[in-house]
Amino acid sequence: MLKLSTRRWMALGSGVLVSLAACGDSTTAPGGESEVISRVSLTLTPAAGGTALTTYIDDADGNGPTAPSAQVAIPALARGVTYTGTVKFENRLANPVEDITEEVEEEAEEHRVFFTVTGTGVTVTTTDVDGQNRPLGLRFSKVVGGTATAGTTRVVLCHYDDAPKVASATSCTGETDIDVSFAFTIAP
């Protein structure tokens, strides 16, 4: 597992708060076992074209007690740009690597990704839906306004096992599969 000193952590300027949790009786995994998510990745591509920005956070022991590593590649977003985004969930502890995103997509009626942004002038909007036309969140747009400031994007993968998935919900009302915050800066 990657370890960073406190000074290096602060030097990255990430201010990233990370907490991971797995759902206890998830029907997503065989036999109702907890899903193991050891990497969460965000990819942002300028909608008008350009180079994609990718960032990720690893958790070397999945749902274990060891804290996740620091965020890799803090993206510098450009003011006045709209990005198309994707989020990917993986279990990199398995061999071969498991793409948990595929499971989330297959069971879209039972999952939703919520985004919360800190900083000003940046908004995230879910652009995909499940089979019942409720937001899913594996794909999204991120609009960076002309006066945007640096901040974080919190990503919460919510699993609706017993609770119904509500289209108008603004936060997770089911079980949290994972909760991670990604820092971003604003390009000069």
Q: Residue 66: its pLDDT value, please?
A: 82
Say which residues have a Cβ less than 8 Å from residue 52's Cβ, sequence separation at least 6. 43, 44, 45
Contact 88, 40 (CB under 8 A): yes
Domain boundaries, the chain: 15-186
Q: Residue 34: its pLDDT value, please?
A: 54
Across the range 71-77, mean pLDDT stands at: 96
Beta strands in 22-67 (DSSP E): 39-46, 53-58
d(CA 82, CA 147): 14
Q: State whether residue 185 is helix, strand or coil.
A: strand
For residue range 129-174, list pLDDT tens digits in order: 999 999 999 999 999 999 999 999 999 999 998 778 989 999 998 8
d(CA 47, CA 60): 33
With bands split at pLDDT 50, 70 and 90, how would you rate the model's confidence at 63?
A: confident
For residue range 81-127, list pLDDT tens digits in order: 999 999 999 999 999 999 999 999 999 999 999 999 999 999 999 99
For residue range 164-173, list pLDDT tens digits in order: 898 999 999 8
